């Protein structure tokens, strides 16, 4: 996520905004767990996996909204 953004900009927002940092770290954690479950390294049931995917998507949506709001404030 945010691959097309400047790393310094993302890091600056994480330092300045604790909620953005928390959501970003949670998204990364969920992304790793979902990946591990998809490749069979993390044995979890389908309901739990679906829940993790929903939470990951919600975090991504909120992070993108926060990023967009930040971009509007700068310009």
Whether the predicted pLDDT of 52 surpasses 60: yes
In whole angstroms, give the CA distance from residue 62 to residue 10. 15
Does any domain span residue 1?
no
- 44 phi and psi angles, rounded to 5 deg: -135, 160
In a domain, 35, yes or no: yes
Distances in Å between the Cα of 20 and the Cα atoms of 42, 45, 52, 61 are 27, 29, 19, 12
pLDDT higher than 70, residue 75? no
Burial class (CB in 10 A: 0-12, 13-18, 19+), 32: exposed
Q: Is pLDDT above 80 for 72?
A: no
Is the pLDDT higher at 23 or at 70? 23
Number of domains in the chain: 1
Please calculate the CA angle 43-59-74 and round it to the nearest 5 degrees. 150
3-state class (DSSP) for residue 19: helix
**Is 2 contained in some domain?**
no
Which residues span the domain enclosing 70? 7-74
pLDDT for 51:
98
**Average pLDDT value over all residues in the chain:** 90
Q: Is the pLDDT confidence value at 1 over 70? A: no
For position 4, what pLDDT does the model report?
65
């Amino acid at each position: 996520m945010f691959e097309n953004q400047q790393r310094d900009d993302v890091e600056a927002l994480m330092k300045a905004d604790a909620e953005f940092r928390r959501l970003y770290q949670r998204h990364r954690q969920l992304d790793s767990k979902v990946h591990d479950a998809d490749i069979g390294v993390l044995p979890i049931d389908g309901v739990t996996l679906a829940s993790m995917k929903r939470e990951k998507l919600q975090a991504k949506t909120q992070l993108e909204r926060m990023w967009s709001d930040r971009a509007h404030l700068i310009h």
